[in-house]
Structure 1
Amino acid sequence: MIDDTLPKQAVLVVNAMSRSGGDAFEDARRMLQERGIELLAAHAITDPEQMRPTVQSALADKAPMIIVGGGDGSLSKTIDDFLGTETVFALLPLGTANSFSKTLGIGADLEAAVETIANGKKLRIDLGAVDGDYFANAAAMGLSPLIAETVPHKLKRTLGMVGYMIWAAKVAFQFRPFRLRIDDGTRKTKVWATEVRIANGTHHGGIELVESADLQSGEIVVQAVTGKSLLHLAWSWFATLFKLRSRNQTVTEFHGKEIRIEARPRQKVSIDGELSAKTPVTVTVARAAVWVAAPR
């Protein structure tokens, strides 16, 4: 039987520029130490570009666990380097949407995340990849990347999810549907779409959108909101948010270990909230790729 006990030694790396990272750093350090976590080092990073080098240094020193504090963007910048290591990735949700933390069942509460790190379990999870760029939770194309690319940082930092919603309403008028072509290895499908979610985890934008996704399934789920109407997209979000029975009728899903995605016109792809690719792309899954800290 595999020992799923989490290490009691860790390195803490917090993105101080994330929504609540700067304010939460000292509280997080104190709470972790009070719960018996020995911090080998603690870093409050004011330049987000230094997140990955700091994590890489801790991995090179073979830290038993690295606690990354920040939002989904901080996760996206650092998760790739955990592949091929035995170091546990732990997360403090200090961003806006905190989608991966919600996928893990931790939520967006700092105390709950510290409790998970102190008394949770280590869990081996899959990672998705878009053309070799790994992600833990989700990638997207359509309206979501347009929002991610253009939302003012101050609006996101000040208003959080409300800021995202205000900006979504603004940029929706600039958005146009696109022709989507998906090849999941068994069939090729062409549809009109307004949004595509490429899911390893269940949550996207802080909301549970892809209920069929599973971090340990060995498959990626591609969920397309089909049609040309932005009102249909809004209804899809609404129906999913409030768990209406009709929510599954607003999307089409594809499952597989390798899925090819093309779009006309070409679409930008955001990975865990960070723009990093453009169609056409090939989506794959890395089975049982990394250890993470999860609730027991």
Structure 2
Amino acid sequence: MRSKAEHTEAIHRERKAAVVVNTKSRRGRRHYAEVLALLKERDFRLTGVHPVTDPSRLRDILTRALDSGPDLLVVGGGDGTLSSSVRHVAGRDVALGVLPLGTTNNFARSLGLPLDLAGAIGVFTEGKVADIDLGICGDRPFANLASFGVSVEVAGTVKPWLKRMLGRAAYPLTAMTVLPRHRPFRAYITVDGKRHELLTHQLNIANGRFHGGWQIARDVSIDNRRLVAYQLGSGKRLRLLGETLVRATTGKWTSLAGGPFVTGQEMLLETDPPMAADIDGEVRLRTPLVLRTIPNGVRVMVPQSFEDT
């Protein structure tokens, strides 16, 4: 592996990149030509251009893109596309360049990236290479979030047309329709030998700083070697509904020191009853599960202002 400084210099000097864009999504299809034009304006030498028309082939396409030997793998899509990309670049001497083409863009927000295409591509020429933490849920790497409870049902219920119309607000609105029939569950989180118990409808364990496009807490980081577990609401539906509405309308910031958060580098999660896990948008695995971080497990391009630890 090159040093981060050497890798940054190579990207700025050689501008050798492969491009993967999920053109199956509305935003990816609409902005695909613009992405290529902006990269060419910045004098990038493209080792491969890969539109993804069939998401089931994404892994094969990412492998082919990396086989061309780029210094930078530019990926455009939502958090699910980016999570797959993170798994491919983890531990490799290639940096991930993120294009925010999703609905909530949680990963891009956690990196402090501009949410417009020109600004995000500008980071590739003016930013720096950083190593951030990689989350692991069971045997599944993840970039941003593993969640349990009502959100798993919401992910399978939210309508594509509602996402296109309302963006990230589609998720809390869908949750309101799912919640009346959802039953609470008990979760047991063991960290550093201490067992925490809670009753809730929704539990999230975050590696990144954002969920649903809103910041979890102002002192959460994607590069602090810690996972953050937190519940929304409690066992009462009205409390969950109220907290969801507050987040949706205000994006309220809280501090880890003053909130109901459990943090640690490794967590054992048990639930009663056993629950499915939504891992960066993919419903995989069931509890009990061990979740942990791999410090500096993924190399990415970030703005110069990003605090790289």
Give the TM-score normalised by structure 1: 0.92
* Distance in 2, Cα, partners of 1:165 & 1:74: 22
SS for the counterpart of 2:201 is strand
Q: Which of 198, 213, 216 pairs up with 1:206?
A: 213
Q: Which of 137, 140, 144 pairs up with 1:133?
A: 140
Alpha-carbon shift at residue 107 of structure 1 (Å): 4.2
* Distance in 2, Cα, partners of 1:162 & 1:239: 12
* Distance in 2, Cα, partners of 1:105 & 1:246: 18
Instruction: Give the aligned residue type for 2:268.
Output: R
Structure 2 counterparts to residues 61-76 of structure 1, below 5 A: 61-76=68-83
SS for the counterpart of 2:130 is strand
Alpha-carbon shift at residue 251 of structure 1 (Å): 5.2
Is the CA contact 1:128–1:135 (under 8 Å) kept in the aligned structure 2? Answer: yes
* Distance in 1, Cα, partners of 2:239 & 2:255: 11
SS for the counterpart of 1:154 is helix
* Distance in 2, Cα, partners of 1:91 & 1:291: 11
User: Structure 1 residues 139 and 21, CA, compared in 2 at 3 Å: closer, same or farther?
Assistant: same
Alignment match, 2:22: 15
SS for the counterpart of 1:228 is coil
User: Structure 1 residue 290 and structure 2 residue 298: aligned?
Assistant: yes
* Distance in 2, Cα, partners of 1:107 & 1:49: 28
Alignment match, 1:97: 104
SS for the counterpart of 1:160 is helix
Alpha-carbon shift at residue 128 of structure 1 (Å): 0.5
For 1:113-172, what per-residue CA distance to the aligned partner results, in whole angstroms no more than 9, with x for missing partners?
A: 111122111110011110021111112112222111222233323432233333222112
Q: CA RMSD in A?
A: 2.2
Alignment match, 2:191: 184
* Distance in 1, Cα, partners of 2:205 & 2:91: 23
Instruction: Give the aligned residue type for 1:109.
Output: D
User: Structure 1 residue 154 and structure 2 residue 161: aligned?
Assistant: yes
Runs of 4+ in 1 over 4 A off after TM superposition: 238-241, 243-251
Q: Which of 247, 259, 272 pairs up with 2:267?
A: 259
Is the CA contact 2:217–2:253 (under 8 Å) kept in the aligned structure 1? Answer: no
SS for the counterpart of 1:39 is strand
* Distance in 2, Cα, partners of 1:275 & 1:6: 38
SS for the counterpart of 2:35 is helix
Alignment match, 1:196: 203
* Distance in 2, Cα, partners of 1:6 & 1:116: 14
Give the TM-score normalised by structure 2: 0.88
Is the CA contact 1:232–1:250 (under 8 Å) kept in the aligned structure 2? Answer: no
* Distance in 1, Cα, partners of 2:256 & 2:227: 18
Q: Which of 25, 33, 56 pairs up with 1:26?
A: 33
Paired residue total: 296
Alignment match, 1:220: 227
In percent, how many aligned pairs have the same letter?
Answer: 30
Alignment match, 2:307: none
SS for the counterpart of 1:33 is helix
Instruction: Give the aligned residue type for 2:299.
Output: W
* Distance in 1, Cα, partners of 2:257 & 2:235: 15
Q: Which of 117, 122, 131 pairs up with 1:124?
A: 131
For 1:178-212, what per-residue CA distance to the aligned partner results, in whole angstroms no more than 9, with x for missing partners?
A: 11111112201211022211111110111112434
